[in-house]
Chain A
């Protein structure tokens, strides 16, 4: 990729609302992305590799478990800092943000919130330091939007649990050291289990041929009579609410993250439009280009305000699942539309890796589907405002 000339738009001076520390954290992550991520990410995406050497850097920046208390190796930051870190990671690439989201919100969050002290001490410091990679197994081949129908299950064998089933579309599965797996007990109630690499009968085949999130590894988690020690069951929460609690946290991070991708596309498009001359003028001088750019900055500004307020609510412990759904849905859609429009502004240049546009655009096709699809989030809002569930047709 050409050198990273990114400049973040801040049309409504939102920086004035951030603390000195928020800005220092954000600028630090931004600087790191420019220095360590931008020069290599295009190549990694083209090759379909996750640049795992970046995990040490992510960890040093507090990107694994930003809001997990420091005694467990987390960074002990507030929710707005968490959001800003995700924004800057995703400005680099959604794959990087996905790795941080999964590790933080889908692996460390349930171990911290639903686990006991021994589990916290065993897993959290190694996940925070990036020595271990975690994955989160909820989705199954036949149960995506409807995870409550899952068939992965375990039986109580006296001194251990016997786990059977398969999870699909699992971020980091091929490289994970531990997996937080959601499975039903004999009564059909969902519980979380920590499955460790090396347990007999546990395999993690990779899903190949993705055209999206290429700088992120995806695969399956397959459990064939895996003996899971009883102390690996997360004791403090069960039922579908347990995994959904993790998703709230991850979706919140995504709502911020995609603003980063949108900013990158807008920034690149704005610069390109000023520099590209056609018919004797910069294309930025044409009304149709201005419409695109003006709408982009308007939508980015709205999304920034939405997440900032949501961050305040989250800091106060008042953000609801439904409010988070609205932000995830709105912001991913916003980012995807901006990526598509930015790609048009770049003309032919928009399809090659010298510019980040097409990579962001393709990445966002995953982001709009995972962690609850665009339509499922709409149904969540619909149910919230009408009181009627429209999930079952």
Chain B
């Protein structure tokens, strides 16, 4: 079973968010990057579990610059067999999906696993676009993935219940919580990652289709007003007359 896991990097959740270039670019100064948790915890780990149970290989792929290499190394330390970095600063989802699908077309994978979204811009688009380019089925937001031969049984959480889908390989899936338990690399994995291949591939030609006009930060949170626990009348009064929500 040949599995491709797409990993993106995202700012650590504790990072301070700021913008530069007249609010059109994210300011990365002092920001710690991590593997996007949905990619790492769910797509990658479930891919590894399937490989461990059925044999095969797990390749991780990132579209990005050389400063992403530490993040990719971590995926190798967790257990991926090899890594590909397509050497391009990603601009939008379509460009990323085009590069990934071109690579996948050439190399042929039984399944392509992504996270349900990246926790930076939360676009949730790349997986679907890859499937579009490859003309393969796309299952989004999957919380369970089991394989029986070439047939996958996939669960998705939907409002008030679950949807169970069967699909044959090849397919593209985006993974959500529930897929697997996060794995912490061990020292053997970290040391093995030293000698695993991280192949850098130059991107194919692609013209950007979108341009960032501006990023706007949410308004700062208002001050918190404390109301004494033994004064519910004051609370009611504030909610009714000041906040005007009851």
Q: Tally A residues with Cβ within 8 Å of B.
A: 19
Decide: B190 and A21 in contact? CB cutoff 8 A: yes
For residue B187, CB closer than 8 A to chain A, the reply is yes
Q: Which residues of A contact B98 (CB under 8 A)?
A: none
For residue B191, CB closer than 8 A to chain A, the reply is yes
| A24-B73, A28-B77 as given contacts; A7 in contact with B187, CB under 8 Å | no
Q: Which of A25, A28, A32 has the most CB of B within 10 A?
A: A28
Q: Which of B14, B69, B187, B188 is close to A25, meaning CB atoms less than 8 Å apart?
A: B187
Decide: B77 and A24 in contact? CB cutoff 8 A: yes
Decide: B191 and A75 in contact? CB cutoff 8 A: yes
Q: Total contacts A to B, CB within 8 angstroms?
A: 40
Q: What CA separation (Å) do A77 and B190 show in the bound complex?
A: 11
State the Cβ distance, B26 to closest chain A Cβ, in Å: 20
Decide: B187 and A60 in contact? CB cutoff 8 A: yes
* Chain B residues touching A, range: 10 to 19
| A7-B14, A76-B191 as given contacts; A24 in contact with B186, CB under 8 Å | no
Q: Which residues of A contact B186 (CB under 8 A)?
A: 28, 60-62
State the Cβ distance, A14 to closest chain B Cβ, in Å: 14
For residue A35, CB closer than 8 A to chain B, the reply is yes
Q: Which residues of B contact A61 (CB under 8 A)?
A: 186-187
Q: Which residues of B contact A28 (CB under 8 A)?
A: 77, 184-186, 190
Q: What CA separation (Å) do A7 and B16 show in the bound complex?
A: 13
State the Cβ distance, A131 to closest chain B Cβ, in Å: 16
Decide: A23 and B184 in contact? CB cutoff 8 A: no
Q: What CA separation (Å) do A24 and B185 show in the bound complex?
A: 9
For residue B194, CB closer than 8 A to chain A, the reply is yes
B 9-64 contacts with A by CB, 8 A: 14
Q: Which of B70, B74, B187 is close to A75, meaning CB atoms less than 8 Å apart?
A: B187
- A-to-B contact residues, CB < 8 Å: 7, 20-21, 23-25, 27-28, 31-32, 35, 60-62, 66, 70, 75-77
Nearest 8 CB-CB pairs, A to B? A62-B187, A60-B186, A75-B187, A20-B70, A32-B184, A28-B185, A31-B184, A61-B187
Instruction: Please name 16 further chain A to chain B contacts, defined as beta carbons within 8 Å, in addition to the given A28-B186, A61-B187, A76-B191, sorted by A numbering.
Output: A20-B69, A20-B73, A21-B190, A21-B194, A24-B70, A24-B77, A25-B187, A25-B190, A28-B184, A31-B184, A60-B187, A61-B186, A62-B190, A66-B187, A75-B187, A77-B187
